[in-house]
Structure formats: C-alpha cells, structure tokens
Amino acid sequence: MISIIANLKQLNIVWRDEFEGQALDRDKWDVDNEFVKTNCKGNWMHQLHCNLDHPKNLQSTHGCLAITAARETNPYILSNNKNFSSAMITSKKGWPYGRIEIRAVLPNGKMLRPVFIMIHAAGQTKWALDGQIDVMTNIQDSSLYAGAHYGLLKNYKYTGAEYNAVCANLQEFHTYAVEWNETHIQWFFGDNKHSEDFDINKTLTTNYTKKGQPFDKAFKLTLSLGVGGDADYLFPGMSLTERDYMSWKCSAIIIDYVRVYEWVDNHTVHSGHISSVGDRTSSVDICESVMSYIRSPNHTDGDSHTTPEPIEPTFTLTLTSIVSIVKPSNWMHQLHCNLDHPKNLQSTHGCLAITAARETNPYILSNNKNFSSAMITSKKGWSYGRFEIRAVLPNGKMLRPAFIMIPTAEQTNWPLDGQIDVMTNIQGSSLYAGAHYGLSQNYGYIGAEYNAISANLQDFHTYAVEWNETHIQWFFDDNKYSEDFDINKMLTTDYTKNGQPFDKAFKFILSLGVGGDADYLFPGMTLTESDYMSWKCSAIIIDYVRVYEWVDIHTVHSGHISSVGDRTSSADICESVMSYIRSPNHTDGDSHTTPGPIEPTFTLTLTSSVSIVKPNLWMSCESKAFY
C-alpha cells in the first residue's frame, strides 16, 4: 500500500500490519474485552468508557483500522456508569529495541484521548516498575505527549517529551514513532525528532540492579482510545453532554499501518526519520464512514467488520406490572415494545418477518420491557371482501401472533368501534378468531376456534376472513371453521342500525406479542433465559397479504380461494431470521429494508379461476417497497 524508503544499513522491517484485510488480524493482536472480564467498572482515572471487542469499536474500513468510541446502550455497561464503549488492542509479539511506527489520524471530539504505548511483553505486574514507553498521547489540543515511566513508589520517575504540533492538522495522516536501543530512547512526529535523547545507559533508580532496566527487555504495543477521565493529566472538572457527543467530528483513531524495524549493523539510535510517503492523504471519507456507522441506530457488522463477542447478561423475566413506553399502561402486561427497527421487520427470502428479539436499549429496559417486536397497519381500509394472509407462525414460548382488523377511522371506543380477529395463537394447535363489539355491559364477542392439530403451523398456511353486509366467516387453508356470524341485525342496543359496527371500512394490523398475563394470554407464566434461547423461530414469516372485493353478488363465498404457491418450507427463512436477531449486532444491509413506516405497494392483477371475486389488493412481500 505504502512504499518504504529506508536505510537498510541501520533499520530493517521485521513486523507490520497494513490493515488491508476485512477484519482485524487476530493472529497479530489481542483485543481487550472488559465486558467478558466483568471489570468494566473503571479505574482510578474515572474514565467514561468500557473497552469492548465489538464491530462498532473496531472497524476495518478503507484499508485502515478505526478504533472508535461510541455511545453505549448495553444495560450491564450502563449499570457501571459507563456511557461509552471503545477498544484497546495489544500486539501479541514484543520487541527489544528498534523503531516502532504508527501512521494514523487522531480523533476529533471533546474528551477523546488516543494512546499509543508500549508495555512489558511478559506481562505487567507492577506499574511502573516494569516500565512503560508512551509513543504518543493527546488530549484534543495541539500538544503531543510522549515519555517513559519507571521506578516504584517514592522512586517513581517519568521522563517526558512534548511536541506542539500547532502547524499540523492532526486529523490528517501523520507518523508517530519511538526509536530505542540499549543506551537511548527518542520520539518522532513525522520527520521531526521532538525529544532529547533519554539516556538509559545507567541505573535509572535504586529499584533496579543494572543499567538499562527496565527497558532492556521486549515490549509490546498497545493502541487505545479513551473517553474522559478526571486525572489531572486528562480532563479534570470537565463533563461530556449529549450536545458534546453529537458534536464529535470523528471519534476514531484511523490507523493506516503499524510497522516495527530492528537495528541491523549497529546499535546507535537512527539519526533521522525513515520516510514513508504513501498515497493516503485524506481521512475525510473514512471519518464519514466511521461516524455514520456508530451514529446509526443499528450497528452493521458485515464483511468489513470483526465478529463480536457476545454481550448477553442473563436474566429471568417475571410477569409484573409493566409500564408501556407508548401509553401510560398496558393492562395485558406484555413484555415487549413495538419498534420500527430492521431487526423486528426483516425483509428476507421474498417474505416479511415480524420478529421478536431480546432488547438492549436502556430506555426500553428501564420500562421493564426486555423484548422488542413490531406491529404494522395497512394505510388503506376496506368494507367487505376476503382478507387473506399466507404465513408461518412463530415457534417459541409466550409468543402470540395476531392478525386483526380495526376501523380505518381512528378507534375511539373499544370495542364499540368493532374489531375482527382474523387469527391469534398462543403456541398451541388452536387458532382463535372472532369479532368484538358493544360497550360495557353490552360487550359482545363471537369467537371461532379451530384445532389445527394435524397441521404444522411452522409451515406456510393461509388465514382468512370473508365478510359482507350480512355475515362473517373464518378460514384456515381450505377449511371454513366457523358458523356464519350473522350481522344482519342490531348486535346490541349501543347501535342504531343493522350491521353496525361492521358496516364501515376496516384496516389490517399484523403483530407479534411477547407474554402478557391476561387470562387469554399466558397468566402465571415466566420467560427465562433458557426459554428465550429455546425459541426456534421468533417471527411471523409472511409470504403475502391479499384483499379481494365482491363483484356481482354480496353473499359470502362458499369456499376457499385456492392460492397454491411454490413456497412450502420456512426452515431456511427461520434460520436466517434467528441468526440475525441472535447476533450481538443487528445487521441491516441489502437483505433488510430501510427502517421507517411500512407502506406496501398495491398490485391489482391476480389470475383466479373463481369468478365471484376479483382482487382488490395484492400486498406481496416480494415487493421491495417496504419502507
């Protein structure tokens, strides 16, 4: 990628990482993961971040590595008063003496601190007795700090070097380097040696027994990006607000390469900088990519990112009083919040998957909701016709798919305004349908139940209702499983004419609920971590939704309108859906829709051998217009 013009009589490259791969090379680097080590509680510096092994914090992009600070949503991390995550990587290999060089762009944002240091390769047991070499640190000004730490307790020493890079734009690529042999250490910024020689050809403190200690052994390289901290050399007395966070221009160290050289023919410190002029001069496109990624509600982790470690604190759910995020209360005490989010609305394999997923968003969790799901409602409504959904039902404890119809005009009094249940299911073989109407003491419910014990509800089936001015009927595939519900009369004294409230336009709602302690849901049941992990498919997989209108007569159709498709198996779709939501990061690339309102396109052409009906709507999941 970048040419090397080196004086090979003095220095020879022995190790390098050009970060050209699609992910961090784990054979070269160890990644700190404080979440897994459960030590994300900070240190005496009181920094605001936790180091994670996560794609949003380690992005391989544009042939560089971006060590990125991001706002965090994981509840465990937030519970430890950490509002941000970042990353720290350490070379697996160490080197005694040589030139260690990093070419990088520094971050640009309040209270961000990039750190390039070297520590004892055998493991640091006593700081600073084991020694530490600071290649470069910066606290968002023009000053670059470097130095060496050594000694212990009252003998602790620090030899520092500071360079004022006021004429340089640190958001462009520059090299940061240290050169070190048995007698001296020097520091470089670009072509500038910005320190006096640090003489280590002596016994540095009484803690050591010979010259050069502790800098006479192999050291390895650590690269990290910190957020905040109240130590006197960090950001004492400062705070980081939401406005500060949103003003971060680039919260990443963008690393072009790391290269290590060894001395060849003599052990003198190199007299000048080894030029390495490359073709990468601008970081604008990289910064834009990095910030777009971490600011996205969903952190993509496709081929250009590393595989994350799980961030999965265990939990047990009990059905207690739950406060809804959308409304003041939810008397059913369901365990989910409906979101407009790609993980909950996945367009995959030519279908729409309405998916329940475990939730990590702290606001949702703070409202005692441990899951998210989705509910979509058709923009259009219809009075009378056949309403048909071809779908696979979910398979998992306490999951409840619901296909219902409500008045197109705003529902003000339930159930006075009316509701038609096309199908609901509570994870048994029974399918429930019906109609709600009336008010208070006049509340009426006409129910229809079908025992689909001989059917596999995790295969595709059709669920339908047919309805005209006088009757409503319900269907499962070719089976009409209800008596005609006669609406050709005044249903209760709340109404003034026959057919009310089912004499007006109704629209579709398709949703997937989790839990609920109402007597018709899952009273007395709990949902544990083991239950969640045993969900086989936590999605309603919808092949199509179709609406038909009556043509020449207004009688309910005598039988099912056949619609035999070539989609018979849902196994591959379920595998894709569950793999997606079980991933610690929810991808939303080409196989998913852009989140936002669900607005289907209408196709008014459908070949049918049944002349009594004609298609009014074909809302197919093959359409790409779910956005």
What pLDDT was estimated at residue 377? 94
2 found inside a domain = no
What pLDDT was estimated at residue 580? 66
The residue type found at 319 is L
Q: How confident is the model at residue 124 (pLDDT cuts 50, 70, 90)?
A: confident
Higher pLDDT, 161 or 220: 220
Task: For the beta carbon of residue 486, count every other beta carbon within 10 angstroms.
Answer: 12
In the chain, what percentage of residues exceed pLDDT 90?
Answer: 40
What pLDDT was estimated at residue 281? 52
418 found inside a domain = yes
Q: How confident is the model at residue 615 (pLDDT cuts 50, 70, 90)?
A: very low
The structural domain count of the chain equals 2
What pLDDT was estimated at residue 265? 59
Residues 243 and 359 in one domain: no
Residues 81-88: what's their mean pLDDT? 90
Mean pLDDT taken over the chain: 78
Residues 358 and 266 in one domain: no
1 found inside a domain = no
Last residue of one domain, picked from the residues 295, 312, 330: 295
What pLDDT was estimated at residue 311? 32
Q: How confident is the model at residue 329 (pLDDT cuts 50, 70, 90)?
A: very low
In the chain, what percentage of residues exceed pLDDT 70?
Answer: 74
16 phi and psi angles, rounded to 5 deg? -160, 155
Burial of 426 (0-12, 13-18, 19+ CB in 10 A): middle
The span from the CA of 428 to the CA of 260, in Å, is 63
Last residue of one domain, picked from the residues 261, 295, 329: 295
Strand (E) or helix (H) holding 70: strand 70-71
What is the edge-to-edge ordering of all strands in the sheet holding 49-51? 49-51, 84-86, 70-71
Residues 344-353: what's their mean pLDDT? 82
Terminal alpha carbon distance of the chain: 40
Evaluate if residue 39 carries a pLDDT over 70. no
Range in 244-258, 338-352, 487-501, 591-605 with the lowest mean pLDDT: 591-605
Residues 518 and 598 in one domain: yes
Evaluate if residue 144 carries a pLDDT over 50. yes
305 found inside a domain = no
What pLDDT was estimated at residue 584? 60
What is the chain's Cα-based Rg? 32
211 phi and psi angles, rounded to 5 deg? -60, 145
Nearest 5°: the CA angle 506, 509, 512 is 160
What pLDDT was estimated at residue 89? 97
Nearest partner of 449 among 470, 471, 464, 429, judged by Cα: 429
Q: How confident is the model at residue 158 (pLDDT cuts 50, 70, 90)?
A: very high
311 found inside a domain = no
338, 514 Cβ separation under 8 angstroms: no
Indicate the length of the chain as a whole number.
Answer: 627
Nearest partner of 68 among 78, 60, 56, 77, judged by Cα: 56
Q: 54-71: per-residue pLDDT in tens?
A: 888 998 888 889 999 998
What pLDDT was estimated at residue 505? 93
How is the chain split among helix, strand and coil, in percent rounded to 5? 10, 35, 55
Residues 470 and 541 in one domain: yes
Nearest partner of 461 among 511, 395, 388, judged by Cα: 388
CA 70 to chain centre: 12
Residues 356 and 469 in one domain: yes
3-class DSSP state of 362: helix
The span from the CA of 126 to the CA of 529, in Å, is 40
Evaluate if residue 249 carries a pLDDT over 60. yes
255, 76 Cβ separation under 8 angstroms: no
What pLDDT was estimated at residue 185? 95
3 found inside a domain = no
Q: Which domain holds residue 155?
A: 11-295
Nearest partner of 408 among 379, 438, 374, 375, judged by Cα: 379
202, 93 Cβ separation under 8 angstroms: no
Residues 149 and 56 in one domain: yes
The span from the CA of 357 to the CA of 369, in Å, is 11
Task: For the beta carbon of residue 174, count every other beta carbon within 10 angstroms.
Answer: 21
242, 295 Cβ separation under 8 angstroms: no
Evaluate if residue 552 carries a pLDDT over 60. no
Residues 6+ apart with CB under 8 A from 472: 420, 435, 465, 466, 484, 485, 487, 502, 556
Q: How confident is the model at residue 476 (pLDDT cuts 50, 70, 90)?
A: very high
What pLDDT was estimated at residue 568? 56
Evaluate if residue 18 carries a pLDDT over 90. yes
Evaluate if residue 123 carries a pLDDT over 90. no
Any idea what the CATH number is for the domain that residue 132 is in? 2.60.120.200
233 found inside a domain = yes
Evaluate if residue 600 carries a pLDDT over 60. no
Evaluate if residue 217 carries a pLDDT over 60. yes
User: Token pair of 446, please?
Assistant: 């006409």
To the nearest 10°, report the CA torsion of 409, 415, 420, 423: 120
382 found inside a domain = yes
Residues 370 and 260 in one domain: no
The span from the CA of 584 to the CA of 299, in Å, is 10
Nearest 5°: the CA angle 70, 72, 75 is 165
Evaluate if residue 321 carries a pLDDT over 50. no
Q: How confident is the model at residue 92 (pLDDT cuts 50, 70, 90)?
A: very high
Q: How confident is the model at residue 38 (pLDDT cuts 50, 70, 90)?
A: low
Range in 136-140, 191-195, 197-201 with the lowest mean pLDDT: 191-195
Higher pLDDT, 413 or 40: 413
Q: How confident is the model at residue 387 (pLDDT cuts 50, 70, 90)?
A: very high
What pLDDT was estimated at residue 512? 95
What pLDDT was estimated at residue 598? 26
Range in 158-167, 355-364, 469-478, 574-583 with the lowest mean pLDDT: 574-583
What pLDDT was estimated at residue 8? 34
Residues 329 and 290 in one domain: no
Residues 470 and 337 in one domain: yes
What pLDDT was estimated at residue 586? 45
Residues 14-19: what's their mean pLDDT? 94
Residues 291 and 324 in one domain: no
Residues 234 and 362 in one domain: no
To the nearest 10°, report the CA torsion of 257, 262, 267, 272: -30
Last residue of one domain, picked from the residues 295, 310, 336: 295
The span from the CA of 406 to the CA of 554, in Å, is 21
Alpha carbon separation from 239 to 68, 115, 243, 410, 543 (Å, rounded): 20, 20, 11, 46, 51
Q: Is the sign of the CA dihedral 522, 527, 531, 535 positive or negative?
A: positive
What pLDDT was estimated at residue 290? 67
Q: 480-532: per-residue pLDDT in tens?
A: 988 889 999 999 999 999 999 999 999 999 999 999 887 778 888 989 888 88
User: Token pair of 433, please?
Assistant: 């349908």
Residues 286 and 344 in one domain: no
The span from the CA of 388 to the CA of 381, in Å, is 14
The span from the CA of 294 to the CA of 217, in Å, is 39
Evaluate if residue 409 carries a pLDDT over 80. yes
